Structure 1
Amino acid sequence: MTTSYDDPRRWWALAALGLAVLTLGFDITIMNVALPTIATELEVGTDGLQWMVNAYVLVIAGLMLTCGALGDRYGRRRLLLIGLGLFGISSAIAAWADSAALVIAARGVMGVDAAILMPVAFAVLAALFGPSERGKAVSVLVMGLGVGIPLGPIIGGYLLEHFWWGSIFLINLPIALVGAIAIAVLLPESRDPSPRRPDIGGAVLSTVGLTSLVYGVIEAPTRGWSDPVTVGAITAGLLVLAGFAAWELRVREPMIDLHLFARPQFLWASVAGVLVTFGMLGLLFVVPQYLQFVAGHDPLATGIRLLPLIGGLVVGAPTGERLAARVGYRVPVSAGLAVLAAGVGVGAATDVASGYGFVAAWLAIAGLGIGMALAPAMDAVLDALPTEQAGSGTAITMTLRQTGGALGVALLGSLLAEGYTGRVDTAGLPAAAAAAARESIAGALTAAARIGEPSLAVSANAAYLHGMSLVLIATAVTAGVSALLTGWLLPGEPSPDSEEGRQSPEATSVPDNDAR
């Protein structure tokens, strides 16, 4: 049997892929609610906790380009099974780890799985589904990944209330096992039928450059943007990536085809995906802290109150897909960005007296915009790619999203910190309490309770809301400008170049006896 657009197993295979990316989504955020418990149980300091979160992001960004190219060359199903195997093993190690170093290492290996699964899962769709069905398939994966991210705090909060901290990792094991069995049985193998020679130089340069760049971006909010480590890492990363681009343009058989950026559909759909991710991560950076610290909800209740964002995304993704099928990509992508801008713009008016109904409404609007824009943007990327290059091409846009998302969180985090620190009133407080209050709202509320100063808590809440408003305004402006740019520059219909360059599904498939 060969991979084809009429394979009856393709929808079951899509369900398996959706389950896998759902896990990746909540693994991005599930750690956040568990950090206080892990800090106590393993006696971990702030630096160690930060690296438990950042090791995952750093490995994803550093390896995604390489993993996408490997899937094209050696087989996407094979690479997915390897990734899910690593995911299960590393999750088990993290669950029973007795040191911070082991948890950090396990999270890094989980990042390898994410670096494989994100681009390869989307690349498989190009071989399984024809243009008429691919939009629906893309919207399923976008919903899986998008829904998983805000589900992290809900799942994590429930598990921490009922089990030990390692359960947040152990939940991955049955999902990885079911996903691996389903992919092995249901997903036909697909790869580039004429693979290029391995581009070792490109793999090394891209990994080193992206890792250095993202490391600098991650460290910037803590160390400061002018710190020598931050400046050195970002500068080194940019220089190495410039060398990577020069290498890819010169080498005879490059790992990725940078000429894809000459296609307006690929370029502007990728840009739209980055900017939607920027908006979503901006929301998920500030809103959970607002719900937990200002509104006073516990982690589980905080996660549950993010459900309107999920609901909006679940409605928005298929809506965007249907619009794209009728009127092309430009309308749903630009409209989704405009809806996102409107939602977070309204959210910037949130104050201490705002009820949850108001917050739920603008979260739902923002989620609707995210879903409307992200699903057709990813479909447009896939449509602009020759099927045999779907892995490496998708890896480019996914890497841009991860790197842009990390940069966005760092920039928005700095904006939040500046807005908060400039407004919190620490006059007359003991030095230790004042320092804790200026560092974060969590520190301010703890200090206020310890020294019996309710006025400090009131000031900290107002200061945080001021910082959150600045972040949401910046996000709204970014999304609004992005809506205008994509409305102007993103082609409304499939690119003729992509149709000419795309090979038939039979050209990218392999027989079952070879795949198995």
Structure 2
Amino acid sequence: MHNSKTRWWVLGVMALSVLTIGLDTTVLNLALPVLASDLKASTSQLQWFANAYNLVLAAMLLPAGMLGDRYSRKKLLFLSLVMFGAASVACAYSTTSEALIISRAILGLGAALLMPLSLSLVPFLFSEGERPKAMNLWVMASALGLPLGPIIGGWLLEHYNWGTIFLINVPIILIALIALVVLLPESTAEKQKLKVDWRGIVTSSLGLAAITYGVTRSGDEGWGDGITLASVILGVLLLGVFIWLGRRTKHPLVDLKLFKRAGFTWGAGMATLVNFSLFGILFGLPLYLQIVQGFNAQAAGLRLLPLIGGVVVGSRLSGLLSARAGDKAVIALGFLIVAAGFGLGGMTEVSTGYGYTSVWVVCIGVGLSFVLPISMNAALGTLPEERAGVGSAVIMAMRQIGGTIGVAFLGSLLNSIYSSHVDVSSLPEATAEAIRHNVSSGAMTAGEMNSSSLLESVHEAFVSGLDAMLFVCGGIAIAGIVLTMLFWPRKVEVGNTSGVEQQKVFQ
């Protein structure tokens, strides 16, 4: 590019745009009670407010990456931002549940285009030496959006209409559009006009959507539900067909040879593994802060700030440590810090104060920022220019599925332990079933019955489930240490395009 500072401005604006995707992933949960009342939404419709976004996002990631490799990234980024902004406005002013579901689906499509395309800019805007710092910024923005959702959303819902949780996207998107037009010149790199792999698009999109739907449904219906199992099995089979077809197609949607590069495979794998654990804390901790410690949604959201503080501090340290000790050592250390954080969290009791909670949350934030930027940078660094879009989409798809499975599996574990530990032996079956359903229902029922002993049982049962979930997350982090030490390559193979050649890509 003609100006080195311009590259950082472009990345900063793209990172800010990606932050809104994280916000939209978590902010909706806070608004569900208000939406149920204002839109007279049924339980099924409330579920589809989230599912419409998540399913379209999962299904369209790989085709979106392919489009970036075939056509102008600038034009497609412009389209994705317009789509995301327009859908945000449509969500904010929806007057029916059906309108909100459709708008959320379009929002998911905009996010599916925006995530891999913005990520694919990093390897070609920045040289190999600059890339870790650039990746730190992008990853930090994508990670910060998740805990910021409850913080900003809680404050907006306290003071304004629910539509404002979507309108906060609009000024950010407008800034991004202006920056994109002014700062990012059109790509002059030759694009390969390959034949579109329609069979790959259909099988991968349906497969990812089916798995996402089945895993999400398992959180409410359990793994014994027929539709849940059928959906997951169908998704796995479709992805199997996708891989089988990819081996027999001249120009497949995803070149499976990417996975022969150890840097790509293990970089994407480590990012997925840590994402799995991250979504566990984002699911369990807000419930603990609200139900057990008694904070409202906004106050609970603010108490997630130590996670952000840990990410910011860790991102400053990881680059320095990597230069001295190497990527492998820093990733292993990051998983060790994450495991220690979850281990401390697993010793939480009902009487534990917030000060103790903030310590282990900071640990997880620091460890997260050691693992994610380096692992994703290693995966991106192996990508050739002509596969940057779809390669980035593969990484994001793996992280998305990892996060979805993390929420479903860890949430099911927490809820099953809670329901088996809560003492409802002396209560009528209908009341007992309502209490066992989830901790929110249990606390509400105990409050209505004005029973301090029942509320204490609800709290103790939930903390038992939370501790078990956090220990499992710690075990996953320990597995990350072992896998890193055994399989992380000594030298990551670099793709055929780097920031040195950025003038060819973005002149």
Q: For residues 310-345 of structure 1, what are the alpha-carbon distances to aligned partners after superposition, in whole Å with 9 as ceiling and x for unaligned?
A: 100111123223333444321222211111111011
Deviation at 1:204, TM superposition (A): 1.3
Instruction: Determine whether 1:247 maps to 2:217.
Output: no
- Which residue among 44, 55, 58 is the counterpart of 1:58? 55
Instruction: Determine whether 1:138 maps to 2:156.
Output: no
On the 8 A contact 1:60/1:114 being kept in 2, the answer is yes
Structure 1 residue aligned with 2:501: 505
What residue identity is the alignment partner of 2:51? N
Written as runs of structure 1 = structure 2, the 5 A alignment for 1:250-269 is: 250-269=248-267
Moved more, 43-52 or 452-461: 43-52
Equivalent-residue separation in structure 1 for 2:482 and 2:112 (angstroms) = 31
On the 8 A contact 1:72/1:192 being kept in 2, the answer is no
Equivalent-residue separation in structure 1 for 2:196 and 2:325 (angstroms) = 40
Equivalent-residue separation in structure 1 for 2:497 and 2:10 (angstroms) = 26
Instruction: Determine whether 1:381 maps to 2:379.
Output: yes
Structure 2 residue aligned with 1:279: 277
Equivalent-residue separation in structure 2 for 1:325 and 1:108 (angstroms) = 43
Closer, same or farther: CA 78–500 of 1 in aligned 2, 3 Å: closer
Tell me, which stretches of 5 or more residues in structure 2 are unaligned?
none
Structure 2 residue aligned with 1:477: 475
Closer, same or farther: CA 143–501 of 1 in aligned 2, 3 Å: closer
Instruction: Determine whether 1:423 maps to 2:404.
Output: no
SS at 2:383's partner residue? coil
Structure 2 residue aligned with 1:288: 286
Equivalent-residue separation in structure 1 for 2:401 and 2:504 (angstroms) = 30
Structure 1 residue aligned with 2:13: 16
SS at 1:250's partner residue? coil
- Which residue among 175, 182, 191 is the counterpart of 1:185? 182
Q: For residues 363-409 of structure 1, what are the alpha-carbon distances to aligned partners after superposition, in whole Å with 9 as ceiling and x for unaligned?
A: 00011001111011111111111123111111111101101111111
Q: For residues 58-112 of structure 1, what are the alpha-carbon distances to aligned partners after superposition, in whole Å with 9 as ceiling and x for unaligned?
A: 1111110110111111122211111111111111111111111211111111111
Structure 2 residue aligned with 1:491: 489
Closer, same or farther: CA 423–58 of 1 in aligned 2, 3 Å: same
On the 8 A contact 2:385/2:495 being kept in 1, the answer is no
On the 8 A contact 1:142/1:317 being kept in 2, the answer is no
May I ask how many residue pairs the two structures share in their alignment? 506
Deviation at 1:49, TM superposition (A): 1.5
Structure 2 residue aligned with 1:198: 196
Structure 1 residue aligned with 2:92: 95
SS at 2:247's partner residue? helix
Q: For residues 211-250 of structure 1, what are the alpha-carbon distances to aligned partners after superposition, in whole Å with 9 as ceiling and x for unaligned?
A: 1111111111222212221111111111111111111111
SS at 1:193's partner residue? coil
Structure 2 residue aligned with 1:30: 27
Q: For residues 287-323 of structure 1, what are the alpha-carbon distances to aligned partners after superposition, in whole Å with 9 as ceiling and x for unaligned?
A: 0000011100001000000000110011112322333
Equivalent-residue separation in structure 1 for 2:463 and 2:118 (angstroms) = 39
Deviation at 1:500, TM superposition (A): 5.3
Structure 1 residue aligned with 2:228: 230
Structure 2 residue aligned with 1:358: 356
On the 8 A contact 1:312/1:367 being kept in 2, the answer is yes
What residue identity is the alignment partner of 1:254? P
On the 8 A contact 1:193/1:508 being kept in 2, the answer is no
On the 8 A contact 1:192/1:389 being kept in 2, the answer is no
SS at 1:427's partner residue? coil
Tell me, which stretches of 5 or more residues in structure 1 are unaligned?
512-516
On the 8 A contact 1:387/1:503 being kept in 2, the answer is no
SS at 2:103's partner residue? helix
Instruction: Determine whether 1:115 maps to 2:115.
Output: no
Equivalent-residue separation in structure 2 for 1:503 and 1:285 (angstroms) = 38
Deviation at 1:507, TM superposition (A): 8.0
Equivalent-residue separation in structure 2 for 1:363 and 1:55 (angstroms) = 31
Q: Give me the TM-score of the superposition, normalised by structure 2.
A: 0.96
On the 8 A contact 1:202/1:254 being kept in 2, the answer is yes
Moved more, 436-445 or 219-228: 219-228
Equivalent-residue separation in structure 2 for 1:24 and 1:396 (angstroms) = 17
On the 8 A contact 1:71/1:79 being kept in 2, the answer is yes
Structure 2 residue aligned with 1:147: 144
Equivalent-residue separation in structure 2 for 1:284 and 1:253 (angstroms) = 39
Instruction: Determine whether 1:408 maps to 2:384.
Output: no
Q: For the aligned residues, what is the CA RMSD?
A: 1.7
Structure 2 residue aligned with 1:514: none
Structure 1 residue aligned with 2:329: 331
Question: Identity rate of aligned residues, in percent?
Answer: 40
Closer, same or farther: CA 189–316 of 1 in aligned 2, 3 Å: farther
**Runs of 4+ in structure 1 displaced over 4 angstroms?**
499-504
Structure 2 residue aligned with 1:156: 153
Closer, same or farther: CA 440–370 of 1 in aligned 2, 3 Å: same
Moved more, 364-373 or 109-118: 109-118
Written as runs of structure 1 = structure 2, the 5 A alignment for 1:297-376 is: 297-376=295-374
Deviation at 1:504, TM superposition (A): 6.1
Equivalent-residue separation in structure 2 for 1:59 and 1:332 (angstroms) = 35
On the 8 A contact 2:418/2:462 being kept in 1, the answer is yes
